[in-house]
Structure 1
Amino acid sequence: MKKSQNNYCVILAGGKGRRLWPCSREERPKQFVDFFGTGRTQLQQTYDRFAKILPPENIYVNTNELYADIVREQLPELSAIQLLAEPIHRNTAPSVAWCTHRIVNINPDANIIVVPSDQTVVGEQKFADAVERGFQFVSNRQHMLTMGVKPTRPEPGYGYIQMGEHVTDGVYHVKSFTEKPERDFARMFMESGEFYWNTGMFLANARHLLDSFRALLPPVLRNFDKDCCPNVYNFEEENRYIHENFPSYPNLSIDYGILEKSPDVCVMCCDFGWADLGTWHSIYEARQKGDGDNVVVDTDVVLDNARDNVIKLPKGRLAVLSGLEGFIVAEEGNVLLICKKEDSSSNIRRLINEIQLKKGNEFI
């Protein structure tokens, strides 16, 4: 298949990854870690996936200045213009707005797919076909297109998209978004057949996406083009403007800031295998279970009457679990975490805040 020069990918890789602490640490979050011992980090695997679909020069990475050197080390093929490093942490709406501004100025006819850097995809060809179908849909329509996957379990840790009116083959208007419902609601969603998991991946033609930012987000973003490079695009001037103004940008997610407010968002029903690997619970649900329904992640382990656990220790360590049920056992550097798997995401956030207050950043 010929790779279209008008199709671009933006990989969002600036998160701190705290929900997978302690294996995801502030200085090297999960997207930069070879978490499963495959030989490639999650960022590298995401890049590899899209390099098979798009021209490599059309793949952009958005991150934080703290991680820019790690990105350059892991993806040396990126040019300077393909790496956007923010001066402070903000949510995904200003990140995508900056990337869209740059791509539109390079190619006004661009179509963009925005993707997180911490997902796993099973069925590469089905995924590539879905991406190509998505690009075809948005290239001649003023719509944003989310990619939805049919739920395989009532997962409360994922977002859900409700299908509305039919648009075309496999594409529907979005009726509603629901973020991380209670398990009973997730079960109702799954059984209804109307809801798909929100993969966090979406597509749009770049001009329409930029118009949506101008219409829906605060003036600080609407003024971007007027204040930055008003006559002719200049890469250095854009970087200077961003670093001076980014602290005043809103801390909004792309879902809340754009997708949930726009009247022209659709969902494409996809059938590739997918999992968000952002939490210990999601890793447990998504990964293949071994003896006793334990998930052992690249770890040497001896299990004795142990069930339903997630275990990840560094190379050279031996984990011996006896009589343990429903726990996370994870070690990295100077931290060993042992906690109940149930409600682990909220508990880990709370624990990190407490440790940061009591012990400082050394253990974060």
Structure 2
Amino acid sequence: MKIDKENYCIILAGGKGKRLWPCSRNEKPKQFIDFFGVGRTQLQQTFDRFIKILPKENVFICTNKEYAPIVREQLPALHEENLMIEPVNRGTAPSVAWATMRVCRRNPQANIIVTPSDQLVLNEEAFYQNLEESFYFVSRHDNLLVLGVQPSRPEPGYGYIQKGDFIQPERAKVAKICTVKSFVEKPERDFALMFMNSGEFLWNTGIILSNAQYLNLCFRQLFPEVLNRFDNSRTDITIEEEMAFVYEIYPSYPNLSIDQGVLEHGENVCVMNCDFGWADLGTWHALYEYLSRGEGDNVIVDSEVMIEDSHNNVIKLPKGRLGVINGLDGYIVAENENVLLICKKGDSSALVRKYVNEVQIKYGDEYV
């Protein structure tokens, strides 16, 4: 895929990453951690992936005031005016609306891809091929296009997309794009198994594409009281004027994700069936499913461990720690700073969130 100056990327990097606690903490969530010991954090790897196919001045990062210094430190090549710092936390929909507004003024003919900052892409060549097809489609049609992947297991921690009718190949360039019947967020395991076996559902990667004008229109319909106060036709507005306006209106936004606000209620939403080796590395269970397993089907994440008579565990310890483990089956063992977590792997996402909330109430913020 050649570099295309018409294409822009918005990377979402404001999440707390609670499901990977205690390694992901409030002061430094998972996207800012070199979780696998490869020398680059997940945010850096996402940035690296996109500047191969579009100019770095076309990459925007959405985050909050707390994490802005970390983003600047980890991405010195990022243009300062492309760092979108939310004054208050209001979910992904308001932050993407703001970034879209800025892209539209910079280039009204732009196409936009919105992506989380903490996903695994195993096959970059296939990923770039899917993006080329996706950008082709959205540049010619007023649609929101979500990238989906075929489920490989009944994962309750992911979102699911029910496919509708195929879009004609002459419109889509490829016969992989369907309309969307429904979105289902994090179903129970029994439902996830039913979705997988039906063949009608894809995992929702959270990666969304659209042409900038249509995406901006969707946000104006979603937030009319807020965005209609801003004259988007003005191309001479300064960054300072825009910031003053945004900081004034931002508290008026509802706390809303882009999935809830735009995708689930949009009229022209489509999904592409992709196969680029995707994983949302937001849960311990997802890490276990996607990383290489050693003896006893244990996953040891960049850690020094002596392990015996133990099976189906995922283990993550700090540098300088040695773990000696015997007789453990199906557990998460994770240590970071002042917290050690040992719990059944199972459907660990909800369990870890529960512990985070209880620890915060009982022991305070320093443990979360």
Task: Sort the TM-score into its range (normalised by shorter chain).
Answer: over 0.9
- Whether the 8 Å CA contact 2:279–2:290 is kept in 1: the answer is yes
Aligned to 1:344: 348
Secondary structure in 2 matching 1:191: helix
Secondary structure in 2 matching 1:49: helix
Superposed CA deviations along residues 154-197 of structure 1, whole A, max 9, x for unmatched, are 21111111111111321111111111112222222112221111
**Distance apart, 1:244 and its partner CA:** 2.6
Q: What is the correspondence of 1:35-114 to structure 2 with a 5 Å cutoff? A: 35-114=35-114
Secondary structure in 1 matching 2:147: strand
Q: Aligned match of 2:192 in 186, 199, 207?
A: 186
Q: What is the correspondence of 1:158-173 to structure 2 with a 5 Å cutoff? A: 158-167=158-167, 168=169, 169-173=175-179
Name the CA distance, whole Å, in 1 between partners of 2:27 and 2:333.
Answer: 21
Identity %: 59
Letter in 2 for 1:206: A
Q: Aligned match of 2:280 in 253, 258, 276?
A: 276
- Whether the 8 Å CA contact 1:217–1:257 is kept in 2: the answer is no
Name the CA distance, whole Å, in 2 between partners of 1:330 and 1:177.
Answer: 32
Name the CA distance, whole Å, in 2 between partners of 1:88 and 1:285.
Answer: 35
Aligned to 1:264: 268
Letter in 1 for 2:131: V
Letter in 1 for 2:199: G
Aligned to 2:339: 335
Q: What is the correspondence of 1:1-364 to structure 2 with a 5 Å cutoff? A: 1-167=1-167, 168=169, 169-217=175-223, 219-220=225-226, 222-226=227-231, 232-364=236-368
Name the CA distance, whole Å, in 2 between partners of 1:359 and 1:218.
Answer: 42
Letter in 2 for 1:272: F
Name the CA distance, whole Å, in 1 between partners of 2:148 and 2:4.
Answer: 23
Superposed CA deviations along residues 86-105 of structure 1, whole A, max 9, x for unmatched, are 12222111111011011101
- Whether the 8 Å CA contact 1:229–1:237 is kept in 2: the answer is no
Letter in 1 for 2:187: P
- Whether the 8 Å CA contact 1:19–1:348 is kept in 2: the answer is yes
Name the CA distance, whole Å, in 2 between partners of 1:231 and 1:286.
Answer: 46
Name the CA distance, whole Å, in 2 between partners of 1:195 and 1:250.
Answer: 29
**Distance apart, 1:62 and its partner CA:** 0.6
**Distance apart, 1:343 and its partner CA:** 2.9
Name the CA distance, whole Å, in 1 between partners of 2:233 and 2:4.
Answer: 27
Letter in 1 for 2:287: I
Name the CA distance, whole Å, in 1 between partners of 2:132 and 2:233.
Answer: 32
Name the CA distance, whole Å, in 2 between partners of 1:88 and 1:273.
Answer: 34
**TM-score, normalisation: structure 1:** 0.96
Name the CA distance, whole Å, in 1 between partners of 2:30 and 2:115.
Answer: 15
- Whether the 8 Å CA contact 2:162–2:201 is kept in 1: the answer is yes
Residue segments in structure 2 that go unaligned for 5+ positions in a row: 170-174
Name the CA distance, whole Å, in 2 between partners of 1:346 and 1:156.
Answer: 10
Letter in 2 for 1:236: E
**Distance apart, 1:245 and its partner CA:** 2.5
Name the CA distance, whole Å, in 2 between partners of 1:41 and 1:340.
Answer: 27
Name the CA distance, whole Å, in 1 between partners of 2:90 and 2:241.
Answer: 21
- Whether the 8 Å CA contact 1:216–1:261 is kept in 2: the answer is no
- Whether the 8 Å CA contact 1:115–1:200 is kept in 2: the answer is yes
Aligned to 2:172: none
Aligned residues: 362
Secondary structure in 2 matching 1:89: coil
Superposed CA deviations along residues 196-227 of structure 1, whole A, max 9, x for unmatched, are 1110001000100010111133522x33524x
Name the CA distance, whole Å, in 2 between partners of 1:209 and 1:172.
Answer: 19
Superposed CA deviations along residues 265-293 of structure 1, whole A, max 9, x for unmatched, are 00011111000001111111221221111
Name the CA distance, whole Å, in 1 between partners of 2:345 and 2:91.
Answer: 27
Name the CA distance, whole Å, in 2 between partners of 1:275 and 1:161.
Answer: 16
Task: Tell me: CA distance 1:218–1:322, structure 2 relative to 1, closer, same or farther (3 Å).
Answer: farther
* Superposed CA RMSD: 1.4
Name the CA distance, whole Å, in 1 between partners of 2:252 and 2:213.
Answer: 24
Superposed CA deviations along residues 42-79 of structure 1, whole A, max 9, x for unmatched, are 00000111111111111111111111111111100011
Secondary structure in 1 matching 2:40: coil
Name the CA distance, whole Å, in 2 between partners of 1:275 and 1:218.
Answer: 35
Residue segments in structure 1 that go unaligned for 5+ positions in a row: none
Name the CA distance, whole Å, in 2 between partners of 1:139 and 1:249.
Answer: 29
